[in-house]
Chains A and B, each alone.
Chain A
Amino acid sequence: MDQVMDQVTNQVLGQSSSQASAITIQNLNHYFGNGDLKKQVLYDINLIIQAGEIVLLTGPSGSGKTTLLTLLGGLRSAHEGSLKILGQEMCGASKEQLLKTRCNIGYIFQAHNLLSFLTARQNVRLSLELHDHYTDAECDRLVDEMLTAVGLGERLDYYPEQLSGGQKQRVAIARALVSSPKIVLADEPTAALDRKSGRDVVEILQRLAKERDCTILLVTHDNRILDIADRLLYMEDGRLVKDKTE
């Protein structure tokens, strides 16, 4: 019963506020485990991110940042509250809906997670092949343009093992952005990089996002990159405690 009620309220609330926003979160709670072991990790999260905004999320280890990101990305299903991505309610969504949402979101992981048996080109192309509406020629062009845009025009056919950490992360950015997703989620994308290449990577990310009017939510511990943000969020013990622009 509760859940049904929640969903009804959510629908009403969602309609009023989500039109221009890329992400709308209302009263989101999340738990891990069941029964006695049930443990709440997210408490009453409320957040609206406008389209085109670059938002950085920081907070101590274990505060729930990754959990929030996996919920947003459809990697976990949300159960309590409302969570809307591009107008699609993710709370209680079916597996197919989650999968569809995943296709329209770009991901950048802490580890580059490139497919080791594919070249940079093939890795990037993989995210275009999820969409049926591209032609073969379009794919080739978009992939090469994207890799050139992240500064890897000379290394199109390199395998991940032949690239440095920063270069790999740039391929990952190209992969996340090539299909022009409206939202990119990034979890500590610079954590494995040295200061210089970390800085390069976020600057490329920022530039490309602005060019494409792409919304970014980026989790980081790295204080040196906070300046790229339009807005900073701070999370502690599963709560959003501070929204620095408000």
Chain B
Amino acid sequence: MRARVISNLCIKGSYYKLTIKPSTSIRAIAGQFLMIRPAAYQAFYEPLLPRPFSIHRLSPDGNLEILYKVVGKGTAILARCGNNDEIDFLGPLGNGFPVRLTKGSSGEILIVAGGIGVAPMLYLTESLRASCPEKRVIVFEGGRETVDLLCVEELKKIATEVILATQDGSTGIKGYVTEALEWYLHKRSSEMQATVYACGPNPMLKRIAEIVYPLNVDTYFSLEATMACGIGLCMGCAVKRKGGGYFLVCKDGPVFRGETIDFDF
């Protein structure tokens, strides 16, 4: 599908927000992603493959927002796209986060975002707020330093509480976001129910899986993998499945129940 760039702005540091208008209207749920290729660079094969990005938000006027961090070739080229440039994309792809939780359960919702993993979590927080208005929603956001904490003000407006962590201690708790989660979980009774939604680097997800293992907690993790196609053709985006075999992140995920993933890859 084709889309036109409405705006593409540096928010801070190496973080950008891209807003595109698709040629036809799109409906998507939080946690779904797009495979993106700027049209102007296609003839050069550099980079060759499209890149996966979470849908950050859908605006009421039908625009799609992507929040991204420049880390290499593909994202550097994306950052160079200007207004009205054309972008080819596939999507929305993947399953997305489940947001209809059992009503009336005492559990709270814990959302954990590491670095650019926050990209799909604002929309997720909004969706959960709408689908489970009676539940407490606690957001844990972590980054290396203050500049790596995005969407904090927006999250504070909708979440019950936002707990921040930075590795250099410049904002919030000093340490990993998983330590903040651990600290929070230890304060409460281990019988208490909770649902954890997490997106971030795989080591972060692995640590969360370890932390919640003895507790009464459901986990939904959005996983990352190198992708070539994003639609189940190449079988390149495999992650190990507990008990043997593999999942394809693009097709079976990107959201998985934490206990189904073997993180020792």
A and B interact: no
Task: Tell me the B residues contacting A by CB distance below 8 Å.
Answer: none
Which residues of A are in contact with B by a Cβ distance under 8 Å? none
